[in-house]
């Protein structure tokens, strides 16, 4: 199938950047070590903060590092190519391809994410498991549900990043919006600090924003914090944001298609 072929080629394309991958995994590991000690200090003071114990917290830290590249929290990924192609005008070719524009780029991004999960996701997790006590799900079904949740997380992230990239149709330079989006992703995904630690009502708010689907939700699946009906609700929450965001992308693309005169004619 076309989209599978696209995804496989994106996987292979990213897999050629070996040195960048190793260097990135190295940086993720360094930060993982620092943050592990920070969390251990927090949970030494408050052993049940956010409903986690210390082992949950350290596991959270390493999985969050594993998610940075996979979910493209620091921007990057296929949508950067889209923005660049809008600026140069190459996007015209993409819009006339006999394949769905969104499907094409989503497949590219999922291929990239699969590679990043297998490399920059697995490598720091191994480092974390060697240096600290981290939790692994014993039930194989949880591993599958975790993979599903990560996939949905990547799709939510893709939706937001695609909307930001498409703003280049109107703004030409979308750097500002990209930065705003990156800050939101860093803080509201649970990368900077687990969302379960947020105080009072802010916790309920951040747990319902789309960015929670990036890091907090998949990790709660891994840790077994969401089970039964909660688990269905968690995956449903991610899926709902996927539908909303991809729908918004489709609308924006239709507007862009109709209204925007590409640079150079």
Contact residues toward another protein (CB under 8 A) are 19-20, 23-24, 26-27, 30-31, 34, 37-38, 40-42, 45-46, 49-50, 173, 175-176, 179-180, 182-183, 186-187, 192-193, 197-199
Q: 53-56: which pairs have CB atoms within 8 A and are 24 or more residues apart?
A: 55/133, 55/134, 55/135, 56/135, 56/223, 56/225
- Where do runs of H (alpha helix) occur along the chain? 2-14, 18-45, 54-70, 78-88, 91-95, 101-116, 122-131, 140-166, 168-171, 175-188, 200-206, 216-223, 228-259
**Least separation, in Å, of the C-beta of 145 and another protein?**
27
Which residue, 41 or 232, is less far from another protein as judged by CB? 41
Nearest to 165 by CA among 100, 96, 64, 72: 72
**Least separation, in Å, of the C-beta of 238 and another protein?**
23
Which residue is it, tokens 């992230």?
Answer: 157
Which residue, 112 or 120, is less far from another protein as judged by CB? 120
**Least separation, in Å, of the C-beta of 205 and another protein?**
13
**Least separation, in Å, of the C-beta of 9 and another protein?**
24
**Least separation, in Å, of the C-beta of 131 and another protein?**
11
**Least separation, in Å, of the C-beta of 60 and another protein?**
13
First to last CA, the chain: 34
Which residue, 37 or 170, is less far from another protein as judged by CB? 37
Which residue, 142 or 192, is less far from another protein as judged by CB? 192
Which residue, 67 or 152, is less far from another protein as judged by CB? 67
- Please say whether the dihedral angle defined by the alpha carbons of residues 133, 137, 140 and 143, taken in this order, is positive or negative: negative
Which residue, 197 or 262, is less far from another protein as judged by CB? 197
Find out whether 195 and 216 touch, Cβ atoms under 8 Å.
Answer: yes
Rounded to whole angstroms, the Cα distance separating 55 from 87 reads: 46
């Amino acid at each position: 199938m076309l989209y599978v072929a696209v995804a496989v080629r994106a996987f292979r394309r990213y897999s050629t950047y070996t040195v960048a991958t190793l260097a990135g995994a190295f940086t993720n590991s360094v930060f993982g070590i620092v943050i592990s000690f920070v969390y251990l200090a927090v949970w030494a003071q408050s052993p049940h903060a956010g409903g986690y114990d210390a082992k949950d917290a350290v596991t959270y830290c390493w999985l969050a590092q594993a998610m940075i590249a996979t979910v493209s929290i620091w921007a990057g990924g296929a949508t950067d190519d889209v923005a660049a192609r809008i600026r140069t005008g190459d996007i015209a070719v993409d819009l006339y391809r006999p394949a769905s524009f969104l499907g094409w780029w989503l497949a590219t991004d999922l291929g990239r994410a699969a590679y990043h999960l297998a490399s920059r996701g697995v490598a720091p997790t191994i480092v974390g498991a060697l240096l600290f006590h981290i939790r692994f799900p014993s039930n194989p079904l949880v591993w599958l549900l975790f993979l599903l949740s990560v996939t949905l997380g990547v799709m939510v992230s893709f939706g937001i990043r695609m909307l930001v990239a498409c703003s280049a149709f109107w703004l030409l330079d979308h750097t500002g919006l990209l930065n705003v989006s990156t800050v939101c992703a860093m803080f509201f995904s649970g990368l900077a600090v687990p969302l379960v630690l947020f105080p009072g009502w802010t916790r309920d708010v951040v747990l319902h924003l789309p960015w929670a689907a990036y890091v907090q939700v998949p990790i709660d699946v891994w840790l077994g914090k969401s089970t039964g009906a909660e688990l269905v609700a968690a995956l449903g929450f991610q899926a709902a944001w996927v539908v909303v965001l991809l729908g918004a992308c489709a609308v924006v693309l239709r507007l862009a298609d109709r209204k925007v005169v590409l640079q150079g004619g």
